[in-house]
Amino acid sequence: MLALHPRVVDVIWEAVGRLIPVHRPKSHPLGCHRGRIPDRVCFEGILRRLVTGCSWDVAGRISGAGETTLRRRRDEWTAAGVFAALFDEALAGYDRIIGLDLSEVAVDGSLHKAPFGGEGTGPNPTDRGKCGWKWSIATDRHGIPVGWTIDGANHNDCELFIPTIRQVIERGLLADIETLNLDRGYDNRVVRGYCTEIGLNDLVCARKRNKGTAKKKVAV
C-alpha cells in the first residue's frame, strides 16, 4: 500500500513529528523506568491501523509498541490537538495546490459499530439497539472533508448538522459555499432556519417520495 511506503511515511512523519509536544518524563519512586517507545514507532503503528483497518492488537504487535501503548499515545496526541492541527495543515495544503471546490457541498451521516462501547457511543436504532457511533461530515464537490463531528448512534443526523457546519465556519470556508446538498432527513424547520441564519440561501434537499416514483430534489 502506497500510504505505508517508507518514503510516504517519512514525509508524513516530517509533518506530524513537529506537532507532537515534547514528552516530560515523570520521576519514578524507585528511580527506574521502562524505556519510552519512540513516537515514530507509535505513529507508524497508528498509521497502519488507519490504513489497513486492522485491530489495535495487530498494529501493536507489528510495530512492536503494543496495543496499550498505541492507544495511550493516540489519546495523548488527540488531547494535545496533534491530529486536528495535522488535518488543518493537510486541508490548507490541498486547497493551495489543487483547490477546494465549494460550489457544491454535501452533508450526510453514517452509522458504525462499536461493540466495546465507550464514551461517545450509543444504541443504534437500525441495528437492534447494538452499541454504535455516528459521524456527520461535510465535503466539497469532490468528496474532500471540510468539517465533521461524531456522536452516539442514537443521535439524529439533524442533531449533528449544526456542529458539522460550525467546523466549516471556523475554517473560514462558509462564504465560498454556493449550494448545500442534503438528503430528505434534513428537510425540517431547524436545519432550514439555521441555514438562513448563517446566510446559506441555496439549499437543496431531497424530498420524501412514494415507492416507485423518481427521486426529486427541490430548492428550499
Q: Give the mean pLDDT per block of 10 residues along the chain (220 residues).
A: 86 92 74 79 95 92 94 94 92 95 95 82 86 93 94 89 95 95 91 93 76 54
pLDDT at residue 105, as a whole number: 97
pLDDT at residue 88, as a whole number: 92
pLDDT at residue 155, as a whole number: 87
CATH 3.90.350.10-classified regions of the chain: 100-219
Cα distance from N-terminal residue to C-terminal residue, the chain: 44
CB 132, CB 148: distance < 8 Å: no
Q: Quote the distance between the C-alpha of residue 143 and its chain's center.
A: 13
* Right CATH for 100-219 from 3.30.420.40, 3.30.950.10, 3.90.350.10, 3.40.50.720: 3.90.350.10
pLDDT at residue 156, as a whole number: 87
